[in-house]
Structure 1
Amino acid sequence: MTLGISQVTVYVDDQQRAVDFWSGKMGFEVVRDMPYGEHRWIEVEPPAGGTRLVLAKADPQWPALVEGLPNYVMFHADDIVKTHQELAARGVEFTQPPSRQPWGWSAVFKDDDGHLFHLGQR
């Protein structure tokens, strides 16, 4: 049996702002954007393909994000320093620039909704 992860949902306050961040700053491709009830069903895919992010409208009744706690969505790059430079030049905010840790290279960046994500190096 072969299993994989096809999508990960990221809950956002403003779907268009999220599309602008993921497609404009991160370079992801919008592969699906269609009506979904009162909102939109939006999927974005990284430039190298693979697992898609679903940018879903958050319900205002849900608890707020825990400040400073990264999502358990981890991205990887072949060259973390170069990727950091390219993304920062596009306006991506890093709360932790690339640094060598005992387990390898690590960085943390923030999207325009305040979610924190890990960036590692293969």
Structure 2
Amino acid sequence: MALTVSQVTLYVDDQQRAVDFWTGKLDFTVTTDMPYGDDRWIEVEPPGGGTRLVLIKAAPDWPAPVKGMPHYVLFEADDIVRTCEELVARGVEFVQQPQHQPWGWSAVFKDDEGHQFHLGQR
């Protein structure tokens, strides 16, 4: 059996701000943007395809993610140091600069909603 991950849902406070971050700073492409109740169903995809992020508007009564902790979504790059430099130049904030760990390279960046994500090296 060969399974893949097609989507990961990311709950956001401001859908347009999230779209602007992922498309403007990380070069993701909007693949779906349609009405979804009072809000929108938005999917963004990384350059070259792959697992899509679904940017869903969080309801006011939903619990907030644990602040200050990275989501367990790992993005990968061929050259983590060069990628971090490019992303910083685009305005992406890193809360942990690239560090070599026993298991490999790791960094943590933050989106404009305050979510944190891991960046590793292939």
Compute the TM-score of the two structures, normalised by the length of structure 2: 0.97
The residue that corresponds to 1:112 in the other structure is 112
Gaps of at least 5 residues in structure 1 are none
Tell me, yes or no, if structure 1 residue 65 matches structure 2 residue 65.
yes
User: What is the CA-CA distance between 1:49 and the residue it aligns to?
Assistant: 1.1
User: What is the CA-CA distance between 1:65 and the residue it aligns to?
Assistant: 2.1
Structure 1: distance between partners of 2:48 and 2:121: 14
Compute the TM-score of the two structures, normalised by the length of structure 1: 0.97
Identity of aligned residues (%): 74
The residue that corresponds to 2:40 in the other structure is 40
Q: Deviations over 1:8-65 (max 9, x none)?
A: 0000000000000000011101111111110001000000211000000011101222
How is 1:1-122 mapped onto 2 (pairs within 5 angstroms)? 1-122=1-122
User: What is the CA-CA distance between 1:67 and the residue it aligns to?
Assistant: 1.7
Gaps of at least 5 residues in structure 2 are none
Number of matched pairs: 122
SS at the partner of 1:62? Answer: coil
Amino acid at match of 1:7: Q
Structure 2: distance between partners of 1:2 and 1:64: 33
User: What is the CA-CA distance between 1:106 and the residue it aligns to?
Assistant: 0.2
Cα RMSD (Å): 0.7
Moved over 6 A (4+): none
